[in-house]
Structure 1
Amino acid sequence: MVGFLERLHSPERPVLVFDGATGTSLQQMELTAVDFGGSALEGCNEILVRTRPDVVRAVHKQFLDAGCDVIETNTFGSTSLVLAEYDLENEAFELNRQAALIAREMADQYTTDQHPRYVAGSMGPTTKLPSLGHVSFDVMKACFTEQALGLLAGNVDLFIIETCQDVLQIKAALTGVEEAFSQTGERRPLMVSVTMETTGTMLVGSDIAAVVAILEPFPIDILGLNCATGPEQMKEHMRYLSSCSPFVVSCIPNAGLPENIGGVAHYRLTPIEMKMALHHFIEDLGIQVIGGCCGTTPAHISALVEVARELKPALREVRQPHQYLERPLLKAESAAASLYGTTSYEQENSFLIIGERLNASGSKKVRDLLNEENWDGLIGVARSQVKENAHILDVNVDYVGRNGEADMHELVSRLVTNVNLPLMLDSTEWQKMEAGLKVAGGKCLLNSTNYEDGNERFFKVLELARTYGAGVVIGTIDEEGMARSAERKFAIAQRAYRDALEFGIPAREIFYDPLALPISTGIEEDRRNGCETIAAIKRIRDDLPGTHVVLGVSNISFGLSAASRIVLNSIFLHDCCSAGMDAAIVSPAKILPLSKISEEHQQVCRDLINDKRRFENGLCVYDPLTTLTSLFEGVSAKEARASGPSLADLPVEERLKQHIIDGERIGLEQALADGLQNYKPLEIVNTFLLDGMKVVGELFGSGQMQLPFVLQSAETMKSAVAFLEPHMEKVIGADGKLESSAKAKLLIATVKGDVHDIGKNLVDIILTNNGYEVINLGIKQSVESIIEAQKMHGADCIAMSGLLVKSTAFMKDNLDAFNQADIDVPVILGGAA
């Protein structure tokens, strides 16, 4: 018989049809407690393979008669975790084996050369959510290993890990199945089917982009959706999977949304309606695997078989089975992910900011909180970095005298549900990294590995990255120690590049740390640490394609005064970014935009970084280290951050503009109050404040201001407008009421995947104060939410906003969706991109 993957990837590119709802079918048979083997087992469908195998065969038969290509084993709840509720936990292996044998027998009866039939080993989500601490990763993995071994013993053709509600559960299932493959020496295709609730996310909150980013590293063959909703509610998710998933895509919906009638779930979607809905998914989105979940009958499956024979799926580029190790990314972005969403490695007009403050090695405050086991306090430190616009959190619990594995487990298990940022697990010991990986449902970075002790630890961390689906930081250290010259740094990076790629870690998941060593000691061998690091960055980015470079920037200034450190770190950061560095472990609160550093200070710092000492007759007549120390003698860090003329000395017009440029909220309300003495509120907004934002935009575009500072300016602008809003004149009609009904109604939203809303909110305020009615949906709005709101409110215009370049792609897709929904009102698009 032609193998499942061979059939799926054959030149004719067939649409393969899975069977329908097992539970619905069994309910219709009106089984009694006797059929289950007693009242204590009633409701345990999985036991029927032993007590009523004829019933299970009948369910398979009706779907095979309907023409499906794949039947699923009656093992949705056959892990010991679930079976324990019926005191059947010791029967898990045998119940899975028996279920697989029954399905195998039925599939073989119906198989012909022209129409092979396949058996999918069904692995449900259990009743536990590991991300919420219901069960440990190791226990869940062991349960799935046992289930997979039973299904392999019954000779299934593939595995389907389905109705997944927690990405950490998926990881446990995948690693459990891989363990079964390792024990038996056999391998089967892998299919993962997640459940997206009507909220638009998985039950634990993961959006579809996070699902793709988290699962992309794993050797699975098919990724899709099943259960929870009908096909209509799956449209947006299917569009995303079609364009961004590297896997074959599946869609196995319910027969519509369930309705509770008399305490029983009813599904109203007819076979013809389901056929028409999936017609679009196949023909336009290239979906290649379809089937039915709750409420679907043989009639539904028969209708899907008809559409599968009628249509050719749209062409999609997908990863082939032999490409597991190569892992071509296709259209998906290279990203880390929290439990809830993704963070791209490639930041637009910025570097990837890795917050450095949650680090026991470098922070006394964190060490004290760890010693007190003050987990809430540590979460507070993490949240402060979110407010500083960090993209990823570095998590380091290395502290002598404490159990680092337990600390990492406790801290990470809290971070994943309390902070919406991906994590970088930072330790010198791989065991601590793994402790974090077992509770982190997202896609992490591992910091770090190197060749200091030879190959053993280097490859152990790579193994963790491959097993748990993580990126990895590689330091330029080998058996001879830390590399100082650019040549040695690059040689180590090149060695690691070859080893990592051969091991199965793709280039895009490699972050090199070429080591920012101090240039502040005055020791001769340290003088060139800065320029050698910058040269190494450029060489790595030029000659090791697809990789990234990360630095702990503040190491460069170790030992200097706080004020001089801020300035030197900022210049070094800028010059490293110019050389190609695209990530940094840094506190955004401790760096400055180039525009706030004087030309003199910039020059002295660059002279120090590039060792531009001047000598005459063998004596040093200019040492930038000495000069920098003198320039900042007696200067506080606060004074260094506030370099330039005092805001209080400027005319009010310039003061207002400068508050926006600097992102400075201290003294802002007084400046606004002073401005109101001579100017109307809208004049202040449209002239002085927006002039400041214009300068911010120019600095951003020229690379002199990084995104964190742009966002600080945006927050300051938001505060200014909020202060002015009560003073703005409302447009009042002849009846003395706000003239909202006399003008248009606007629906505004920041598009999916974008959290930036300053421009949208300014539009809201100004239009509202000029007599328009504005329905402001907020940030990260899906196209379904916008369409639903438009149907509800009947707005005269829709306005979509976004800061990021990728937001324009969502806007384009949204316009297509508006057309399909017969929305014909004008649309306004806005945003920095």
Structure 2
Amino acid sequence: MHRFLERLHAPERPVLVFDGATGTSLQQMDLGPDDFGGAALEGCNENLVVTRPDAVQEVHRQFLEAGCDVIETDTFGATSLVLAEYDLQDQTYELNVKAAQLAREMADRYSTPEKPRFVAGSMGPTTKLPTLGHVGFDAMRDSFAEQARGLLAGNVDLFIIETCQDPLQIKAALAGLEQAFAAAGERRPVMVSVTMETTGTMLVGSDIAAVVAILEPFPIDVLGLNCATGPEQMKEHVRYLSAHAPFVVSCIPNAGLPENVGGVAHYRLTPVEMKMAMHHFIEDLGVQVIGGCCGTTPAHIAALAELAQEMTPAERPVRTPQAQLQRPLLGAEASAASIYGTTPYHQDNSFLIIGERLNASGSKKVRELLNSEDWDGLVAVARGQVKENAHVLDVNVDYVGRDGEKDMHDLVSRLVTNVNLPLMLDSTEWQKMEAGLKVAGGKCLLNSTNYEDGDERFFKVLELARTYGAGVVVGTIDEEGMARTADRKFAIAQRAYRDAVEFGIPAHEI
């Protein structure tokens, strides 16, 4: 077990404190264009690790002196997608390595056996929302993978995917991390921190229940909130996480809501006020990881570090590293999800109703709409099933002579923002399923999972489910065809259940 997880899951359950606002601290240094490497690079904080490493380490030093346990690397925007805006995309790997090394040096300097200090590799949301089509999944995943490789090479202790505004962006970041872990042959702990706007949802409209349902399948260690608001506006979201998230919960708020003072964002929450607000989260809701986002200074972090020494979080069930593969639900509910909300698999007053009309294999109308590429017409079919109280929408674009992967991409990318129900991606070809998964930020189901083409396709669908966080619907079909008797159906079901569980798909997703 990594030493950060050993500390996090120690018997005394310590409250761990992250640092404060890097941007706020750098702004207070009154840096000019020359500090950033020229006027064209002014504002690119990530380049300061090369041009002004002393300034970056001074920020780390101030927060370490204040008593934080974890400092974040100066890499919030250090993906090629963001660095391209400064024509620095070719330096992505090197900037991340350097940033991690600078933070590592400072953390090691302050670390003691009694109070170890850790480095979190910061991975921000980029400037693009994949759910809205700003960037493709593969490009975003690869950009995060490159960043993660650099941070790993610089020896970070954990990763924080932060200020997340789109569930699909989180999935791309997690997929990028998995690529980096596989290449390095080792893992690091993972923390995900989402941003809930004053509207009560993420920027693309996801509520906190959807966040939990979408992220529950993934091997993350800490889930929480940061940015956008102060602790007061985070209360109900944190309360939901405390009751339902199977992970350690974090809360890293701004120093209150930002106010425009003379054209500059100003944050009014004092260190004492922040300490008082976080007291409730720790004592009553079991929050174990705290820190500060925009507007928080070393004084805020010192107040939180003092609070951490005084308190033990309320007890709540969390997944231990040893239980990650089994994925116990704990307070979570087995559900599918759109990007907007959740649909429990077990309905209180009904069976789970799957809307099957959006199926090119079984509907002449859908085939005609698909052939004419009438996407609005297909969305209208989906909306009609919503009105008729379907719980989940099956999507099947299998139609001879058409590019099914493109059709699945084009249709699902429209459904996710126009329909508030989860999707069941249905195809005899796993490539089409994956095309849909790459544009569906919610938690999908994968239909037509069977042994008709042998083990290879069956396990490929399971791999998709594990990679993209989906459930599977298994048909009792094997190499000999569809089972006709109860005994044959039961035998195939047993085989599928055993194979899926051994592969790492928990029982509640089968």
* TM-score bin, normalised by smaller chain: over 0.9
Task: Give the structure 1 partner of residue 376 of structure 2.
Answer: 376
Deviations 1:341-389 (A, max 9, x none): 0001011120111101100001000000011000000001001111101
Q: Give the whole-Å Cα distance in 2 for the aligned partners of 1:168 and 1:451.
A: 30
Report the RMSD for the aligned CA atoms in angstroms.
Answer: 0.8
**Structure 1: gaps (5+ residues):** 511-833
**Residue identity matched to 1:451:** Y
Superposed CA offset, 1:787-823 (max 9, x none) = xxxxxxxxxxxxxxxxxxxxxxxxxxxxxxxxxxxxx
Distance in 1 separating the partners of 2:28 and 2:432:
51
1:70 aligned partner: 70
Residue deviations 1:694-720 (CA, integer Å, cap 9, x gap):
xxxxxxxxxxxxxxxxxxxxxxxxxxx
Q: Summarize deviations over 1:510-544 as a string: whole Å, max 9, x none.
A: 1xxxxxxxxxxxxxxxxxxxxxxxxxxxxxxxxxx
- The answer to whether the 8 Å contact 1:2/1:116 transfers is no
Hey, what does 1:172 align to over in structure 2? 172
State whether residues 210 and 340 of structure 2, in contact with CA within 8 Å, keep that contact through their aligned partners in structure 1.
Answer: yes
Show structure 1 runs of 4+ deviating over 2 A.
none
Q: Alpha-carbon deviations, 1:85-134, whole Å to 9, x = none?
A: 00000000000000000000000000111110000000000000000000
1:51 aligned to 2:51? yes
| CA apart distance, 1:2 | 7.6
Q: Secondary structure at the match of 1:497?
A: helix
The gaps in structure 2 that reach 5 residues or longer are: none
Mapping of residues 146-225 of structure 1, within 5 Å: 146-225=146-225
Aligned length: 510
Question: Match of 1:239?
Answer: 239
Distance 1:498 1:472 in 2: 13
Matched, 1:91 2:96: no
Aligned to 2:285: 285
Q: Give the secondary structure class of the aligned counterpart of 1:484.
A: coil
1:319 maps to 319
> Which residue does the alignment assign to 1:356?
356
**Structure with the greater alpha carbon radius of gyration:** 1
Q: Which residue of 2 aligns with 1:461?
A: 461
Maintained 8 Å contact 1:257/1:267: yes
Is contact 2:352-2:391 (8 Å) kept? Answer: yes
Aligned mates of 1:343, 1:266 — CA distance in 2: 40
**Contact 2:196-2:203 at 8 Å conserved across structures:** yes
Question: SS of the counterpart of 1:54?
Answer: helix
- Per-residue CA deviation, residues 487-527 of structure 1 (Å, 9 max, x unaligned), is 110011011111110101011111xxxxxxxxxxxxxxxxx
- Between the aligned partners of 1:258 and 1:350, the Cα distance in structure 2 is 45
Residue of structure 2 equivalent to 1:302 = 302
Task: Provide the rounded CA distance (Å) in 2 between the counterparts of 1:135 and 1:327.
Answer: 31
Q: Percent of aligned positions with the same letter in both sequences?
A: 82
Which aligned pairs between 1:697-708 and structure 2 lie closer than 5 A?
none
Partner Cα separation in structure 2 for residue 107 and residue 138 of structure 1: 34
Q: Which has the higher contact order (CA 8 A, sep 6+)?
A: 2
What CA deviation, in whole Å up to 9, does each residue of 1:523-570 have, x standing for no partner?
xxxxxxxxxxxxxxxxxxxxxxxxxxxxxxxxxxxxxxxxxxxxxxxx
Amino acid at match of 1:275: K
Q: Please give the alpha-carbon distance, in whole angstroms, between the structure 2 residues aligned to 1:28 and 1:399.
A: 60
Matches of 1:361 and 1:395 in 2, distance apart? Answer: 10
Residue 180 of structure 2 aligns with an amino acid whose one-letter code is A
Q: Distance in 2 between matches of 1:141 and 1:302?
A: 36
Q: Distance in 1 between matches of 2:498 and 2:365?
A: 40
Is the contact between residue 2 and residue 189 of structure 2 (CA under 8 Å) also seen in structure 1? no
Contact 1:246 1:329 in 2 (8 A): yes
Distance 1:166 1:350 in 2: 31
Contact 2:2 2:188 in 1 (8 A): no
SS of corresponding position for 2:193 = strand
Structure 1 residues 257-288: Cα deviation after superposition (integer angstroms, max 9, x where no partner): 00001110000000000000000000000000
Question: Residue in 2 aligned with 1:499?
Answer: 499
Equivalent residue number for residue 133 of structure 1 = 133
Provide the C-alpha distance between the structure 1 equivalents of 2:363 and 2:478, rounded to a whole number of angstroms.
Answer: 27
Partner secondary structure for residue 48 of structure 2: helix
The equivalent residue for 1:26 is 26
SS at match of 1:352: coil
Amino acid at match of 1:376: D
Say whether 1:487 aligns with 2:487: yes
Measured in 2, the distance between the counterparts of 1:332 and 1:216 equals: 8
- Report the Cα offset of residue 442 of structure 1: 0.1
What does residue 109 of structure 2 align with? 109
2:358/2:381 contact within 8 Å kept: yes
How far apart are 1:411 and its partner, in Å? 0.1
- The aligned counterpart of 1:227 is 227
Instruction: Name the counterpart of 1:268.
Output: 268
Q: Which letter does structure 2 place at the counterpart of 1:61?
A: R
